Amino acid sequence: MRNISLVDLTEQHLILKNKIDQALNKIFSSGTFILGQEVEQFEQEFASYCDVKYCIGVASGSDAILLSLHALGIGSGDEIITVPNTFISTVLPILSLGAKPVFVDIDPKTYQIDPSLLEQAINQKTKAIIPVHLYGIPAQMDLIMKIAKKHGLYILEDACQAHGSMLENKKCGGFGDIAAFSFYPGKNLGAAGDGGGIVTNNKKLAEKIRVMRNIGQAKKYKHDMLGYNSRLDTIQAAILKIKLKNLDQWNAKRRKLANTYNKFLKDLVILPPKLDTGYLENFHLYVIRVSKRNNLLGYLYSKGIKCGIHYPIPLHLQKPLKFLGYKRGDFPIAEKMAKEVLSLPMYPELKKEQIEYICKHIKKYLRVHE
Ligand SMILES: *Cc1c(COP(=O)(O)O)cnc(C)c1O
């Protein structure tokens, strides 16, 4: 069997190639590559998909978080609560704005922020909570929102892995004051390069960010505020518009593949969390847990099966965050997960036979080594 990657985007491109070629030809003939109709249309369609009023296209998911925090007025001396088991882009923007990330541990049943630990992390300086819907599993937004409301805190959802994930029939990204999405190629909705989106129901925030992402320019050469050059490329918007139409179908395929994995791996490894009713995940990643994870990863690699680790080092132990003063042992659940999690290949075009092959090798390895 041919090598199996963690994510393979080639087949998906073949399916959409004609539509994408046409859209790109149109843009090249128009000679207009910044903002314009394609970006506006995608923004409207993605807002409507998320069932929120506004979407602003930006240059990346990292920028979506940065501009959201900036627009909320986060700055020096403020504290922002989030989790240590996420991609570093959840917290780098906090540091860029001179604010301080404060970590709380995760719930071992959901792998998401543990709402019961939130209140002890809140103080006078706390301004916002960033729940991350990690792997596309919705965080417990009902409990988180109750606490945020009680303490007057903003909620910025890091929905960079949660396109189309739902909680009680409501899409992730529609719960907080504002939410950040990434359209990095490997995300469930991915561009052909970097891209990001901010969604919100708050008109003032939306208007502010629309100016902010365009170098603070409300009208040409009239700058009303400090800003960023962080626009979603016209070309990327056109591609995303085409792909958005397939997102629900692709997510459904991912869920089906996850079920197939579950069947084959039952009783062999710790399967992805079984969620309460009302939760619908998008399986951005299919993550199992095993002891001796690194050895299994190496074995599968030798069989041409490329897995991933999301993420091997919790953020409180990463070099640029050492100055915060956290130490090993501070977040035992996130630290344990970092040693055990293994992301198996997952993308909508993955075949059942490939999953069978992957699981056969996991079984083989575990038989010999457990
Ligand atoms: C991908 C991702 C980001 C950053 O998005 P980019 O588009 O790569 O900048 C932020 N947070 C999480 C959880 C992500 O998975």
pLDDT tens digit sequence for 306-326: 999 999 999 999 999 999 999
Please spell the DSSP secondary structure of 240-293, one letter per residue. HHHHHTTHHHHHHHHHHHHHHHHHHHTTTSBPSPPPPTTEE---SSEEEE-TTH
Residue 11 identity (one-letter amino acid): E
CA 273 to chain centre: 17
Region for 139 from its dihedrals, namely left if φ exceeds 0, alpha if ψ lies in -120 to 50, beta otherwise:
beta
pLDDT attached to residue 301: 97
- Encoded tokens for 208: 């502010």
Report how many helices (DSSP H) and strands (DSSP E) the chain contains, helices first.
Answer: 11, 14
- What does the chain come to in residues? 370
CB-CB neighbours of 352 under 10 Å: 12
Phi-psi region of 267 (alpha: psi -120 to 50; beta: other; left: phi over 0): left
Query: Contact at 8 Å (CB) between 339 and 85?
Result: no
Copy the structure tokens of residue 243. Answer: 């792909």
- State the distance from the centre of ligand 1 to the C-alpha of 35, rounded, in angstroms: 22
Residues at CB less than 6 angstroms from ligand 1: 60-62, 86-87, 89-90, 132, 158, 160-161, 182, 184, 194, 196
Cα–Cα distances (Å) from 132 to 76, 228, 263, 343, in that order, read 23, 24, 28, 17
Contact present, 279 and 167 (Cβ < 8 Å): yes
Which residues, in sequence order, are CB contacts of 244 under 8 Å at separation 6+?
Answer: 42, 45, 46, 49, 189
Query: Which two three-digit tokens encode residue 360?
Result: 């056969």
Decide if pLDDT at 369 tops 90: no
What residue's CA is closest to ligand 1, atom 7? Answer: 61
Q: Which two tokens stand for residue 69?
A: 């925090």
pLDDT at 197: 98
pLDDT mean across residues, the chain: 97
Residue 224 has pLDDT above 90, yes or no: no
Tell whether the model's pLDDT for residue 336 goes beyond 90. yes
- C-alpha 120/C-alpha 97 separation (Å) is 24
CA of 197 to the centre of ligand 1 (A): 11
pTM exceeds 0.95, yes or no:
yes
Record the tokens describing residue 304, joined without a space.
């041409």
Do 65 and 42 form a contact (C-beta atoms < 8 A)?
no
129-175 per-position pLDDT tens digit: 999 999 999 999 999 999 999 999 999 999 999 999 999 999 999 99
Q: Kindly indicate the confidence band of residue 368, based on its pLDDT and cuts at 50, 70 and 90.
A: confident
Q: Which residues contact 362 (CB under 8 A, 6 or more apart)?
A: 265, 268, 269, 296, 300
Q: Quote the pLDDT of residue 203.
A: 98
Separation between Cα atoms, residue 5 and residue 196, nearest integer Å: 24
pLDDT band at 2 (very low <50, low <70, confident <90, very high): confident
Give the pLDDT of residue 104.
98
State the distance from the centre of ligand 1 to the C-alpha of 220, rounded, in angstroms.
31
Q: What percent of the chain shows pLDDT beyond 70?
A: 100
pLDDT, residue 83, reads 98
Strand partners for 156: 178
Secondary structure (3-state) at 92: helix
Which of 130, 158, 160 for mutating ligand 1's site (highest number of atoms within 8 Å of CB)?
Answer: 160
Cα separation, 198 vs 63, whole angstroms: 9
Q: Residues 316, 322, 327, 331: what is their CA dihedral angle, to the nearest 10 degrees? A: -10
Per residue in 260-307, pLDDT tens? Answer: 999 999 999 999 999 999 999 999 999 999 999 999 999 999 999 999
Q: What is the mean pLDDT of residues 170-184?
A: 98
Q: Rounded to the nearest whole angstrom, what is the distance from the C-alpha of residue 161 to the centroid of ligand 1?
A: 7
Q: Give the number of other Cβ atoms within 10 Å of residue 152's Cβ.
A: 8
pLDDT tens for 38-82 read 999 999 999 999 999 999 999 999 999 999 999 999 999 999 999
Q: Give the integer Cα–Cα distance in Å for 112 and 324.
A: 22
Q: How far is CA 247 from the centre of its chain?
A: 15
What residue spans of the chain are helical by DSSP H? 10-30, 37-50, 61-71, 92-96, 141-151, 203-212, 234-244, 247-265, 293-302, 332-340, 352-369
In tens, the pLDDT along 243-266 reads: 999 999 999 999 999 999 999 999
Q: What is the pLDDT of residue 128?
A: 98
Atom 14 (ligand 1) nearest CA: 160
Cross-strand bridge partners of residue 288: 342
Per-residue confidence at 7, pLDDT binned at 50, 70, 90?
Answer: very high
Q: Is the pLDDT of residue 1 over 80?
A: no
| Res 331: pLDDT | 98
Residue 370 has pLDDT above 90, yes or no: no
Q: Is the pLDDT of residue 85 over 80?
A: yes
